[in-house]
């Protein structure tokens, strides 16, 4: 609420002048007296009050427009993120894709079918991301956070997932052939119909994995894997998996 204060009418100049004790103060007091009259006159000018109200109103209108256009700004931000991802498609390096993918995922935008093959995505955070049918083949995903992500039918052929967290992820029907999963956390991962041919599973955490319907595991290296469910090791070796702790890193 705007509260305007009326200035008190200044004294006449001869009164002010007569009250001065020192002559050298006369020019300074004259200037101050003129300002007092200016303030007095402006305080009684209704036009200035109108301007104050208009200024407050413009702020209010700006706030209303800011919130009313928030949806358009979000759409524009998403469009720019997708543009970054699509422009860098098929290229190496990051190309801004880490930030773009993380931003979209934070806004709960599905990343279904995204193509980030051969991309440098080391350390990316895509927890609970919807990556159904995503192409992440040959991507560098070392140290990534993919817990609870949906990677159903995803192409992770030759992907580097060393030291990544895939806890509770859904990898059903995914292609993980020739992938590097050394020291990764695969606890409680759904591996139904997964192709693990020649995958490197050394020192991975396999606690609680759904493994009974794995499609292929031939030549996969399971040396040092931890917390594997009962029966998994024997089954994997019978299906052609190997245990080679001295495999070159």
Tell me the domains of the chain and their CATH numbers.
Answer: 13-68 (no CATH), 90-244 (2.160.20.80)
Residues 173-194: what's their mean pLDDT?
Answer: 98
| Predicted pLDDT at 27 | 75
Using N-to-C axis directions, what is the helix angle for 97-106 and 70-87, rounded to 10°?
A: 140
In the three-class reduction of DSSP (H, G, I as helix; E, B as strand; rest coil), residue 147 is classed as coil
Q: What percent of the chain is modeled with pLDDT above 90? A: 63
45-102 pLDDT per residue, tens: 665 566 666 666 676 666 665 565 566 678 888 999 999 999 988 777 888 999 999 9
- First CA to last CA across the chain, in angstroms? 71
Binned at pLDDT 50, 70 and 90, residue 141 comes out as: very high
Q: pTM of the entire structure?
A: 0.71
Distance of alpha carbon 138 from alpha carbon 129, whole angstroms: 19
Distance of alpha carbon 158 from alpha carbon 54, whole angstroms: 64
Binned at pLDDT 50, 70 and 90, residue 1 comes out as: very low
Task: Quickly tell me which residue has 């999963």 as its tokens.
Answer: 181
Query: 76-100 b/e with 16+ CB inside 10 Å = b?
Result: eeeeebbebbeebeeeeebbebbeb
* Mean predicted lDDT score pLDDT of the chain: 87
**Residue predicted with more confidence, 197 or 90:** 197
19-52 pLDDT per residue, tens: 667 767 777 777 777 777 677 666 666 655 666 6
154-178 pLDDT per residue, tens: 999 999 999 999 999 999 999 999 9
Which residues sit opposite 120 in a β-bridge?
A: 140
The two three-digit tokens of residue 145, written as one number: 């956070």
Residues 221-248: what's their mean pLDDT?
Answer: 93
Distance of alpha carbon 95 from alpha carbon 17, whole angstroms: 75
Q: Quick check: 182 pLDDT over 70? A: yes
Distance of alpha carbon 225 from alpha carbon 190, whole angstroms: 17
């Amino acid at each position: 609420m705007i509260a305007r204060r009326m200035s008190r009418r200044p004294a006449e100049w001869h009164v002010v002048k007569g009250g001065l004790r020192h002559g050298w103060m006369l020019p300074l007091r004259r200037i101050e007296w003129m300002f007092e009259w200016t303030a007095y006159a402006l305080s009684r000018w209704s036009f200035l009050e109108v301007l104050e109200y208009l200024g407050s109103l413009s702020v209010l209108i700006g706030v209303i427009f800011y919130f009313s256009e928030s949806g358009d700004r979000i759409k524009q931000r998403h469009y720019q993120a997708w543009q970054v991802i699509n422009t860098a498609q098929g290229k190496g390096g990051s190309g801004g894709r880490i930030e773009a993918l993380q931003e979209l995922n934070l806004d709960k935008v599905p990343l279904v079918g995204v193509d980030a093959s051969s991309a440098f995505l080391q350390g990316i955070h895509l927890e609970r991301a919807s990556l159904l049918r995503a192409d992440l083949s040959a991507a560098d995903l070392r140290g990534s956070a993919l817990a609870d992500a949906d990677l159903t039918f995803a192409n992770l052929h030759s992907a580097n997932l060393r030291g990544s967290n895939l806890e509770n992820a859904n990898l059903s029907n995914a292609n993980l052939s020739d992938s590097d999963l050394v020291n990764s956390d695969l606890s409680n991962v759904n591996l139904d119909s997964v192709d693990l041919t020649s995958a490197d599973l050394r020192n991975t955490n396999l606690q609680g994995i759904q493994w009974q319907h794995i499609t292929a595991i031939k030549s996969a290296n399971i040396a040092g894997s931890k917390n594997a469910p009962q029966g998994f090791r024997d089954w994997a070796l019978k299906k052609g998996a190997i245990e080679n702790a001295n495999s070159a890193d």
